[in-house]
Each structure stands twice: as structure tokens, then as C-alpha cells.
Homo-oligomer: A and B are copies of this chain.
Amino acid sequence: MTTWEQLAKQTTVVDDNSDVIVPRDEVHAFCMRCLQKVGAVTEHAEAMAELIVAADYRGHYSHGLNRLGFYIEDLRSGQVISKPEVHPTIVKETVATALVDGNNLMGPVVGTFAMDLAIRKAKHAGIGWVSVKGSNHFGIAGWYSMRAVEQELIGMAFTNTSPCLVPTRARQKALGTNPISVAAPAKDGDSFVLDMATTVAAIGKVEMKHTLQQPLPAGWSLDSDGRPTEDIDKAMASLALYPLGGTEETSGYKGYGLAMMVEVFCTILSGATVSPFTQGWSDKMRSREANRGHCFVALDPQVFAPGFTDRLSELLNHCRNLPPAEGESQVLVPGDPERQHMKHCDAIGGIPYKQNQIKLVNNLAEKNGVEALGRLSR
């Protein structure tokens, strides 16, 4: 069965790079049938499918369909729970804070619960700060921070991950890519959306280079002995990344420090497993619950000075209108690359995927006895 070839016949093919364009609804439906096939209850599968589609639609391909295989394996093996009677629980709370136990449900189920709790607290007390234990991989951090923006609040989301960041001076990995997302509403639907790993690159970006057989940029990865490498195979073997900033000379210790800050917010506060002591995301190491930690913050600009969205729009537009350096294109603000990608998707009628990506997920579909991507709805 070579489903991706059938698919390629059925969908629009862009000439220049042979992208396969898949409507968002079809990506969503495909995720739903994969997740439900391995036991996810509808509500939980919906949370995950929505997040996967959003990641690819925003151009964060590393965190969309690229991750589906892991999520399926998590459910299939019973490492992650999806039962209608199991919900995240509030362990402890104040008017403005909460500690949440995810009870080993899927990350997006836990994350959505905790972010919405932070939002409710922010509406009441001006701010809500929620730390979470007992969770799993939660996808793109921006998914959660943007939920707050929909409510005209500032949103923040953080998570620890399995170790892949090599601390400055060290020979081996210790912390995760430990992403930070902060989003804030500007005027007329505009917004600031920062969503970044505290490593130079996210691990998924290295995987994407491997999947797409593209060269690995200098300054992203180290080999298994802690030496810089541009060899994609060595980088895939080590999965060892430089912290943001790179080497010590260019302040890599700052990215390392930010990753440790995320660790404080997500695991040290909550009692989730600290990154160096977590399991990797490969089959042989999956022998217990991940007990991943997250942190979600919502903050109401209305309890501060009036005119928040006006000031933010002015700053965003000031930066966008800066003269570009010689040979550079337009200056962007955090969130603009994603906006450009979504606009492009809307114009071409779906999310463009490389054929390799489609092939990978359809191999997965076949293995799990699920109809391939795009076949059902055509």
C-alpha cells in the first residue's frame, strides 16, 4: 500500500517543490481517526487534533503531524491515559494561583484545563499562575498563550521536555528545549506571539531537517561527546542542542539560564519530574509515566494602565516599519511569520506538506489500520 502516491494524485501539487496541499479539515479528521483508533475519548482526541492542525497551519511543522506518531504510541502503549472519567484535578489553590495534577492525561487536555483556570483567575484577581505536574507532551506552547489573547489577556505557557540541552561547558545533555510562549493582544486582532525553544533550535527542527534531507546549520547541535557538529546523522544520534546564544563567548549561558528558569516554573514548583531525570521519547526508555510539568499564566492588562492595545500596536508597527539592513527583507515581529504562513495556507486552500511528511504519517496510518490522510473525504 503506497497511500501517499494515491494521495498525491488526489490533491493539488504545487509545481516548484511538489508540496501536497491538504485542507485543514482533512488533517483534523485524520488525527481524530488515528487517536480514536488507539483509544482516545472524543473530547481528548479533539483537543489534540485541534492543536496538531494549529501547529502545522502556523508553520510549526515540527510540532504538528510530525509528532502524531509519538502521541499514538503513547496511547497505544498505555503510557498516557484517555478515559472519560479521568480529568485533571486542582491540588491546591489561592485566589491567583493553582497547582494542577494532569493525572497522566494527554498534554493538550491538561494544558487547556490549566490555561483556562489561569484565565478565570486573571479575570478575578488580575493574574492567574498555574503550575502543573502529571502531564505529557503538550505540543506548541503558543496554543495556550493564544487562548488568553482570545480573552483580551496576556497569556504565557512554559513546559519542560526530555533532556536535549547541553549546559554551557558540559559534555552532556541535562535540560529540555524548555519553550517559552508569551502572547499579548494588540488593536484590531493584531497580536504579539512569542513561541520559542530556549535552545538555538527545537529538537523537532533537527528532525525535520533529517526527514526532509536538508543540511544542518552550524551552531545548532553537538555530538555525543559535547563537540559542535553539522553532521545530521551525529545530531540525530545525540539529539544534543546548544542553548540559545550558542557558545559561552556568545552568551549561551543565557539560553541555559532561561531553560533552567522554565524548569523552576514547570517542575521545581509543581513536583513534576525534572528534565535531567525524565525519560527520552524513544520506545526502549518508555517504562513509566512522563510526569511532565507545565506552567500557565494569564494577566489582565485592564488592571494596569489604560491603552494597552494601542501602545502594543504602536510598538509592533514601529518595528515592522524599521528600514531593513542591506539585503534584508521586511522586519517582522513575533507572530508575523506564523501569520504569513496561515495567510499562505488560506490562499492555496490548505496546509502544504512535503511528500516525505505525508509518507511518514500514512505509513503510521497503515500500521494502525486507519484510513490514510485525505482519502476519506474525496
Contacts and interface: CB of A to CB of B under 8 A. Distances in A.
A227 interface: yes
19 contacts: A95-B96, A95-B125, A96-B126, A126-B129, A154-B264, A170-B324, A170-B325, A171-B325, A172-B322, A172-B323, A200-B245, A200-B251, A244-B251, A245-B246, A256-B334, A258-B258, A268-B311, A269-B305, A276-B318
Interface stretch (A48-56, A229-237, A296-304): A296-304
Contacts of A71: none
Closest CB pairs A-B (n = 6): A271-B305, A97-B126, A226-B325, A94-B126, A96-B96, A170-B322
Contacts of A154: 264, 269
A281 interface: no
A19 interface: no
A167 interface: yes
B225 A331 contact: no
Interface string A222-255: 0001110000000000000000111001110111
Contact of A168 (B196, B217, B304, B331): B331
Given A154-B264, A170-B319, A192-B260, A303 B92 contact: yes
Interface string A86-107: 0000011111110100000000
Contacts of A174: 318-319, 322
A326 interface: yes
A75 to B, nearest CB: 27
Given A129-B126, A260-B333, A325 B201 contact: no
A133 B274 contact: no
A253 to B, nearest CB: 7
B200 A167 contact: no
Interface in A297-342: 299-301, 303-308, 311-312, 314-315, 318-319, 322-326, 328-334
Given A154-B264, A194-B261, A319-B174, A227 B314 contact: no
Contact of A245 (B93, B244, B307): B244
A271 B96 CA distance: 24
Given A99-B303, A194-B260, A168 B332 contact: yes
A290 interface: no
Interface of A: 91-97, 99, 125-127, 129, 131, 133, 154, 166-172, 174, 180, 182, 184, 192, 194, 196, 200-201, 217, 219, 225-227, 244-246, 249-251, 253-258, 260-261, 263-264, 267-271, 274, 276, 299-301, 303-308, 311-312, 314-315, 318-319, 322-326, 328-334
A136 B184 CA distance: 25
Given A96-B127, A125-B125, A126-B96, A304 B269 contact: yes
Given A201-B251, A268-B312, A331 B167 contact: yes
A167 B322 contact: yes
A184 B70 CA distance: 34
Contacts of A257: 194, 196, 334
Contact of A329 (B167, B169, B219, B303): B169
A133 B200 contact: no
Contact of A268 (B126, B315, B328): B315
A251 B251 CA distance: 13
